[in-house]
Amino acid sequence: MLVSSRSYDEYIAMFDLADADLRGRRVLDCSAGGSSFARHARTLGAQVVAVDPAYALEPSVLADTIATSNRNGATIAVDNGDRFVWDWYGSIDARDKMRARALAEFVLDYGSRPGRYVAAALPQLPFRDASFDLALCSHLLFTWADQLGQAWHAAALAELCRVAREVRVFPTLVQGPGGEVPFWDELMAAIAADGHVVERRRVPYEFQVGGNTMLVVKRLRS
């Protein structure tokens, strides 16, 4: 099981978030893994719920799983240097320290606010329609497009649009070599046909080469 920890600063850059996107808003982080985003976003008054199937694990097992994923992810980045750029992080060491700090903050928050961390998985979420103003989805949709096909992506996006008025997904490339999603155009057309506005927006973050855009979907009608 791959469960990464990402920092609040990474989220701000990956999803091009401003304070106004978070202040006083209901936010879903799906699939959140060991992110420290929820903890920090609450300081702006955001009501954040984090979702991940890994939250079904015992806390100690979960922490060990995330730490192992962090180490494995760092090794992949080093061994495939031509696929990654380090401008945003500055160095490998800086990224590793950021991820370790995010994990430590996640563990503390997870232990003190268990009700804000829900064990669930796309494409079925245990929330009512329009429960959130904003849903963020990092490194799940599109990243695994070579394993999770078009039908799964359509169902997952429909579910995110059901529970949130706006959805942001990062990145928009497939893992590994970073190829384009083969069913992108057809999927976007289907989402638009359901009454949503879709936009592929550039963000101030790039780690995987070419991975500097997110998908934004906004609901226009119920």
Structure tokens at 73: 């992810």
For residue 1, tell me if it sits in a domain: no
In whole angstroms, what is the distance from residue 141 CA to residue 144 CA? 6
pLDDT tens digit sequence for 156-196: 999 999 999 999 999 999 987 678 999 999 999 999 999 99
* Contact between 142 and 169 (Cβ < 8 Å): yes
**pLDDT of amino acid 220:** 74
Residue 216 has pLDDT above 80, yes or no: yes
Residue 62 has pLDDT above 60, yes or no: yes
Buried residues in 169-202 as b, exposed as e (16+ CB within 10 A): bbbbbbbeeeeebeebeebbebbeeeebebeeee
For residue 205, tell me if it sits in a domain: yes
For residue 78, tell me if it sits in a domain: yes
Mean pLDDT of 105-123: 96
181 DSSP assignment? P
List the CATH number of the domain containing 188.
Answer: 3.40.50.150
Q: C-alpha dihedral over 48, 214, 208, 9, to 10 degrees?
A: -30
Number of domains in the chain: 1
Q: Closest by alpha carbon to 50, among 4, 115, 104?
A: 115
Residue 74 has pLDDT above 80, yes or no: no
Within 10 Å of residue 203's Cβ, how many Cβ atoms?
19
Mean pLDDT over the full length of the chain: 94
Which H or E run contains 49? strand 47-51
**pLDDT of amino acid 178:** 75
Residue 221 has pLDDT above 60, yes or no: no
The domain in which residue 47 lies consists of 8-219
Mean pLDDT of 115-137: 97
Total-model pTM: 0.94
